[in-house]
Amino acid sequence: MSEENLPNSPDDKKNKPKKPWYREYAEALVVAAVLALIIRTFIFQAFKIPSGSMEDTLLIGDHLLVNKFIYGVQIPFIEGRFLTLREPERGDVIVFEFPEDRDKSYFKRRDFIKRVVGTPGDLIEVREKRVYVNNEPYVIEQEVHKEENLIPQTYSPRDFLAPVQVPEGSYFVMGDNRDRSFDSRFWGFVSESDIKGLAFIKYWSWDSEAFFPRFGRIGKTID
């Protein structure tokens, strides 16, 4: 066979028609979209804080990243987690799908962010706004609550909650701003399968009242 008939000769490459610019851009966009989808599904996902339930740890307008693989990779339409690095621990700030939205359509489901207070097997109790885990006071530096206007136990579990044990495969979560948090005291436990990941860093923060970035919060880890 002569050189000029080789399938990969330099002449063939020169004569090969060049892709139109719009096709090259389209292919690049498709690759970028696929990579972004893989990262968002299995590695990291961005969230924005819409309420004050986690003050002062997280403020309205904080933008954060969530580690989606630390508790194990979740593959769509397949039960269970894979390549788990560790289980959720007491004190972790987690993002999860609101349990009461489970029967709603995918587009109507909401994501919540709270702190893990009770892990499987823990006994949780609230007495006059003070949280007890396994009969020991549970206090974190970031928590916020007011002492006035305690609500009687007959009216609300916010300040008084009879002892409950966290079931296997579930977690008891609360907001750091106890007075403004709609959490496990009201609607129960978070199933492990509903947890999306661990919130670990604030990459942006915007103060809508001052109409100015909170530069001091950008890049800070979430404890």
Q: How do the domains of the chain map onto residue ranges? A: 46-217
The DSSP code for 4 is G
In angstroms, rounded to a whole number, what is the distance separating the alpha carbons of residues 96 and 114? 8
In angstroms, rounded to a whole number, what is the distance separating the alpha carbons of residues 74 and 81? 5
Total residues belonging to the chain = 223
pTM of the model: 0.80
User: Mind telling me the catalytic residues?
Assistant: 53, 114
Mean pLDDT of each 10-residue bin along the chain, 223 residues long: 52 65 78 75 87 94 95 82 92 95 90 97 93 91 51 64 96 94 95 95 95 95 94
Task: Give the closest residue to 159 by CA, choosing from 149, 148, 150, 147.
Answer: 150
Distance of CA 90 to the CA centre of its chain: 15
* Residues with Cβ within 8 Å of residue 76, at least 6 apart in sequence: 41
| Fold classified for 46-217 | Umud Fragment, subunit A (2.10.109)
